[in-house]
């Protein structure tokens, strides 16, 4: 009897612990990787290139710690990664979306963060655990901006 109560308590505790994790995982939209990209918008609608440009330049997104590009107003830009200039001529929206969601799919050794992933990551800062770095809307805005970089 006592042991079955203990068992019930363990089950209830396990459920209580599992629930918040399940609802946090639900913060990620489902997406389908097809070939080397994610053809469909994560939000179901196109992003806004102007907001995307602001996000890329925002130090919080960290893009320009590694990348440079056509941002004459920004003095400090990284040189650890290819320039974003012309990214829209080299890559399709689908390829750019997957690269932002999970750059390690292209290159398992990459230093570029997986911006829309919460599982299987190491060294995730406490504030970011269980949350993607960028939201689905932010990913779409950045994709819209990068696609517009044609030369």
Q: Report in angstroms how near the CB of residue 112 gets to ligand HEC at its nearest.
A: 3
Q: Report in angstroms how near the CB of residue 129 gets to ligand HEC at its nearest.
A: 19
Q: Is 7 or 150 the residue whose CB approaches ligand HEC more closely?
A: 150
Q: Is 14 or 65 the residue whose CB approaches ligand HEC more closely?
A: 65
CA distances from 127 to 22, 81, 138 (A): 18, 26, 18
Torsion of CA 85, 88, 91, 95, to 10 degrees: 110
Beta partners for 37?
34
- Residue 34: phi and psi, rounded to 5, are -125, 120
Q: Report in angstroms how near the CB of residue 104 gets to ligand HEC at its nearest.
A: 8
Out of 54, 81, 121, 124, name the contact with ligand HEC by CB under 6 A: 81
Contacts of 2 (CB under 8 A, 6+ apart): none
Q: Report in angstroms how near the CB of residue 130 gets to ligand HEC at its nearest.
A: 20
Out of 29, 43, 77, 110, name the contact with ligand HEC by CB under 6 A: 110
- Site map 122..151 versus ligand HEC, x via CB under 6 A: --------------------x---x-----
Three-state SS for 47-106 is CCHHHHHHHHHCHHHCHHHHCCCCCCCCCCCCCCCCCCCCHHHHCCHHHHHHHHHCHHHC
- Using DSSP's 3-state secondary structure scheme, residue 142 falls into helix
Instruction: Using CB under 6 A, list all residues that contact ligand HEC.
Output: 56, 61-63, 65-67, 80-82, 84, 87, 90, 96, 99-100, 103, 106-107, 110-113, 115, 142, 146
């Amino acid at each position: 009897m006592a042991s079955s109560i203990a068992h019930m308590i363990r089950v209830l505790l396990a459920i209580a612990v599992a629930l918040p994790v399940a609802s946090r995982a639900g913060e990620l939209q489902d997406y389908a990787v097809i070939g080397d990209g994610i053809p469909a918008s994560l939000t179901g609608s196109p992003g806004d290139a102007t907001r995307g440009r602001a996000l890329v330049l925002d130090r919080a997104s960290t893009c320009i710690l590694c990348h440079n590009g056509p941002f004459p107003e920004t003095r400090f830009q990284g040189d650890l990664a290819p320039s974003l200039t012309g990214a829209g001529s080299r890559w399709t929206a689908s390829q750019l979306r997957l690269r932002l969601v999970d750059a390690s799919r292209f290159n398992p050794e990459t230093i570029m963060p997986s911006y829309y992933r919460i599982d299987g990551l190491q060294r995730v800062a406490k504030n970011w655990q269980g949350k993607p770095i960028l939201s689905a809307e932010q990913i779409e805005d950045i994709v819209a901006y990068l696609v517009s970089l044609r030369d």
